[in-house]
Amino acid sequence: MAHAAPASGVRTRSAPTRTPDVFSERTHRAAEWTTAVGLGLVYGYWVAANNRAGGPITGWNLLLGFVSAFVFAVLWLGVHAVAPRLRRELHSVLWAVFAGCAFGFLYSETGASVLRSTGWALAVAASTFAALFFRFYTREDADGHRIR
């Protein structure tokens, strides 16, 4: 029966390196702002559409949509800036709270009861927490440092 030869203990291959970043810091910053604005506009439109329930578009409906879009974009940028500095548990909790609150407000604009909106928001937050905690947990070493 064949056996493997003992290794010398010297590494012959270099450690894997990160893929090169071909975009500048300015491009990444522009993409972050563009993403926040785009997601905010989609969210604001969705809130306004849920609020009017198929009725006519009014000035108050437009105002609700734009204010919702602005608040969503600002909060998304805030969470996006703060969350990576936190440990995996708090990182997951922060994104889960954001997702749950955003969904709960969006669902409440359909005319659903407060209890039903809260229940669905908690379900979205719990599933977001579970998915993100698993993702962050599997991408950290034993000391809690992110593997990049």
Report pLDDT digits (tens) over 79-108. Answer: 999 988 888 889 899 999 999 999 999 999
Q: How confident is the model at residue 9 (pLDDT cuts 50, 70, 90)?
A: low
Q: At which residue do the structure tokens 């849920």 appear?
A: 50
> Which tokens in the block code for residue 146?
């992110």
pTM beyond 0.85: no
CA 108 to chain CA centroid, nearest Å: 21
How far apart are the C-alpha atoms of 93 and 85, rounded to whole Å?
13
Q: Which residues contact 113 (CB under 8 A, 6 or more apart)?
A: none
Q: Where are the domains of the chain?
A: 27-85, 87-148
| pLDDT of the residue at 17 | 67
By the 8 A CB rule, do 98 and 83 touch?
no
